[in-house]
């Protein structure tokens, strides 16, 4: 993920201890799952294995990246809602079915998207709700196959 590139740049720029910088530079990659675990509990043993000060710095960097990604996702979803002309009242919000492991498993990502989406749509008097539908892609493909 982009966070790994940012972490390495922060290490190179001197934002981490020598030990933390060395550890990051020696890592080949960072999986999204590992980033999520780190964000959920930066004090726990994890793949980053950083000391407290380095862990705090990396957590703030990762959280800022996640916040920005959530805002960009919310802006795109807002555009769809506005274009649809729907979601004009709180009793009839637009239902947005979104799925994927990043959305559902990456610590706080869904909540951040939901926060920004509600805030942005509120400026236009619109309402939307992120929905979880089990096997949405599979079900939608099956229905399309039956109807198509």
pLDDT for 54: 93
**Nearest alpha-carbon partner for 97 in 136, 142, 143:** 136
What is the C-alpha separation between 81 and 10, in angstroms, rounded?
37
- 46, pLDDT greater than 80: no
- Reported as a single tens digit per residue, the pLDDT across 76-131 is 999 999 999 999 999 999 999 888 878 878 889 999 999 999 999 999 999 999 98
Mean pLDDT score across all residues of the chain: 91
pLDDT for 111: 94
pLDDT for 58: 94
Please, is 134 exposed, middle or buried when counting C-beta atoms within 10 Å of its C-beta (0-12, 13-18, 19+)?
A: exposed
pTM of this prediction? Answer: 0.85
Local confidence band at 4 (pLDDT 50, 70, 90 cut-offs):
very high
- From residue 5, alpha-carbon distances to 76, 88, 91 in Å are 24, 41, 43
């Amino acid at each position: 993920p982009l966070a790994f590139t940012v972490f390495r740049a922060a290490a190179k720029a001197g934002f981490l201890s020598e030990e933390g910088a060395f550890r990051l530079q020696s890592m080949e990659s960072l999986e999204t799952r590992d980033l999520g675990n780190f964000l959920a509990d930066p004090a726990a043993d994890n793949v980053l294995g950083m000391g407290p000060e380095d862990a705090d710095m990396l957590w703030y960097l990762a959280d800022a990246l996640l916040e920005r990604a959530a805002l960009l996702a919310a802006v795109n979803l807002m555009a769809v809602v506005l274009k649809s002309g729907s979601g004009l009242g709180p009793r009839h919000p637009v239902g947005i079915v979104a799925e994927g492991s990043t959305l559902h498993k990456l610590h706080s990502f869904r909540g951040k998207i939901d926060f920004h989406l509600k805030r942005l749509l509120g400026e236009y008097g619109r309402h939307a709700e992120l929905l979880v539908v089990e096997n949405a892609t599979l079900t939608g493909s099956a229905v399309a196959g039956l109807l198509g």
